[in-house]
Structure 1
């Protein structure tokens, strides 16, 4: 378990983490996302004891560190996995994993579990990127930390390898019963792996919730736009629904009367052959394999995006009709306020 309470971190006169608080339960995986420079890695370093905090406290299993009484890294029993693997090039896989261990049994266990048995005597130069990351993870787990911090562990790997390895790492963390904080820039990774998702901006947590809630019920416009593509459709709330250029949109959230914006993801919109009434014109399209992403221009001039299957292809300049996904219950934003 980890407790972060009102933590701030300063580099000189610049505050890079601001009054941040959360708790992490045993065996819980927390994914952290946010733009470059928002404080994600600084937060990891503060938890590990690699940078000092200026305010607040951080507590782990058997220790609590605060600005006036810092606990050194070696007394925190926190493991770290880095994006550059940080392996000793002159040591074999087993010697890397078992480095400074008196009992090599945990190293043998994780080497076997992570599929490295045939490579135990190989040196890092012989390993692929995915194999190196498995070795780095095995080393961290073999030392039996009470908390694991992962700083963009898959960023140096190709897309196909990432898809498999992200779940291998998740399974290993769950097997170990180990809480972890995992920093990533990959939104797909963040949404699919973690038990909870934290979205950071300018040193603060904009939202901390389940991945599904962060995506479907973003706390504000920043979260809505950061987690995937977002269409914010202007409308007027009537009490029974929201009147928009795309028609009446109903919601369970009973927004107050007045001007609002409705969040529609590209996946929420379906594109059809026009039946006489022109609702949009195709500005451009991008083939994505199993789907096509359309950039559409509404009669008002507003540009939106729609992602559909490849069953029916439209071309730039085509007039099309739009419909919303059935059972859609979108988030709604009042002007300059939180979702309603």
Structure 2
């Protein structure tokens, strides 16, 4: 169990504000932090990592990381941090970047195998693509077997196909190691695919908290429309199916027949349209 009750004054998108967070996160959970830029998401990650100071308490299981008398140093916190800019050692090979964190060669090779990097382990970072660098960064973050994995928009600089590939690898790593994970993201389809819980911040405070469907799904009525989106999930409900589709910055649900569902594949691009307020998906 992670218990967080912190306050920190900061300069947000609307001027000075107080980051005021009180929440609990279950071990092994995958939490997405969402909200407008300047709402306090990255600052919260940095406070958890010990990279910024705050008032209050942070407790991981029975270990105190922060209270009014004590602030556990960064190097003693069992965290992994994945940045947007990779932050790799350019003069070290892929395997050397991992072994710099821990000399556990068995774990390093396991992580490289999961992320399909084994054949590149003796390459330097400047010879890798952006997606490959981010996979190395992810593997390195897992090398100290962290109690908490923090990711700050780790896939934002990648193209859609590479983002999807890395999302699948993040899910595989999460399933393999069951590491409690907190990820900052603005991408609703990424949040839906990866997280079990979404926490939305606004002006330094939690304004919404729940499962991805509850927080992200928009079901307001609309006039006739036709939009392209990505099929995220198909849920069978009695005699119908419900398709969950990402369109722009929104997640929508559409009732379809089981026959229609059988012709669809998760991840494919679909066109969502409505005639006389009856949505069609094809």
Equivalence for 1:154: 155
Contact 1:16–1:38 (8 Å) recurs in 2? no
Task: For residue 149 of structure 2, give the secondary structure of its aligned residue in structure 1.
Answer: strand
User: Is the Cα contact below 8 Å between 2:101 and 2:143 reproduced in 1?
Assistant: no
Classify the secondary structure of the residue corresponding to 2:100.
Answer: coil
Is contact 2:10–2:19 with CA below 8 Å preserved after alignment?
no
CA-to-partner distance for each residue in 1:19-49, whole Å, 9 max, x for gaps? Answer: x122121211001111100000000001111
SS of 2:150's equivalent in the other structure is strand
1:199 corresponding residue in structure 2: 200
> Larger RCO: Structure 1 or Structure 2 (Cα < 8 Å, ≥ 6 residues apart)?
2
The separation in 1 between residues aligned to 2:251 and 2:77, in whole angstroms, is 42
Task: Establish whether residue 323 from structure 1 lines up as the match of residue 277 from structure 2.
Answer: yes
Match of 1:308 among 250, 273, 276: 273
Stretches of structure 2 that go unaligned for 5 or more consecutive residues are: 223-249, 256-268
In structure 2, the CA distance between the partners of 1:116 and 1:51, relative to structure 1 (3 Å rule), is: same
Deviation at 1:324, TM superposition (A): 5.0
The residue that corresponds to 1:63 in the other structure is: 64
- How far the C-alpha of 1:166 sits from its partner, in A, is 0.9
How many residue pairs match? The answer is 238
CA offset at residue 197 of structure 1?
0.8
Using the alignment, how far apart are the partners of 1:156 and 1:125 within structure 2? Answer: 16
Q: Which has the higher helix share?
A: 2
Question: What is the SS of the residue equivalent to 2:33?
Answer: strand
CA deviation string 1:265-324 (max 9, x = no partner) = 87669xxxxxxxxxxxxxxxxxxx632xxxxxxxxxxxxxxx417xxxxxxxxxxx6325
Q: Say whether the 8 Å CA contact 2:273–2:279 is kept in structure 1.
A: no
Give ranges in structure 1 of 5+ residues lacking alignment: 217-223, 225-229, 234-263, 270-288, 292-306, 310-320, 327-340
Residue 8 (structure 2) aligns with: 9
Equivalences for 1:220-239 in 2 at 5 Å? Answer: 231=220
Matched residues in 1 for 2:26 and 2:2: separation? 7
Compare CA radii of gyration and give the structure with the larger one: 1
Tell whether 2:1 aligns with 1:21: no
Q: Secondary structure at the match of 1:180?
A: strand
